[in-house]
Amino acid sequence: MLPPLIILDVQDAINQPVWDGKNNPSYIDAIERLLMAWRDRDGHVVHVKHDEANPNSSYHTHGPWNGIQDRVAPRDHETVVSKTQNCAFIGTDLHDVLSTLGADQFVLTGVVIHNSMDATIRAGKALGYQILLPQDGTTAVPVVDHKGKTWPAQDVFDLSLALLGGEYAEVTSTEAVLKAFADRD
């Protein structure tokens, strides 16, 4: 049986200039590949959509880029969870959805690794979930620190995976996830 596939914040907002400089622009291809595999096998898919209150955010609830990207848009029977915080478990029913499914594990994809992905992984681990993180199904953007230094997206990505891997999530690949669950049939 497939664990739930969670697709986090893959909205039109992430393609706006404020998010330029992604280290892994093909992340959406990996997510789409996982989504198709889950749909082909009637796996449970959860789309998490960020509804930001700040009107200056590209993710603003009533902004033009709030919609989920067409390539991974939910189908009628797929669950959509709306969040207003960076963590998909805070103020949402995600934990209830996963509990109802009897899930103790999930596959997490989406954007960006050093923000909402990180917060969701850490909270999910604290709630007792085993989390599979296909590294090709996420991305990072450059980060400017408090001293004004710009950290390249690849460095942010690599460090984020290093911090999350092992203790909080199993860092893997789309190919490995697909193979692991194909072998269970």
Query: What is the count of structural domains for the chain?
Result: 1
Handedness of CA 36, 38, 42, 48 (dihedral sign): negative
How high is the pLDDT of residue 185?
52
Q: What is the pTM of this model?
A: 0.96
Report the pLDDT value the prediction gives residue 107, as an integer from 0 to 100.
98
Show the tokens assigned to 113. Answer: 């690794």
Full domain range(s) for residue 49 = 5-182
Write the CATH number for 127.
3.40.50.850
Each residue of 61-101: pLDDT tens digit? 999 999 999 999 999 999 999 999 999 999 999 999 999 99
Mean pLDDT of 147-162: 98
CA 112 to chain centre: 7
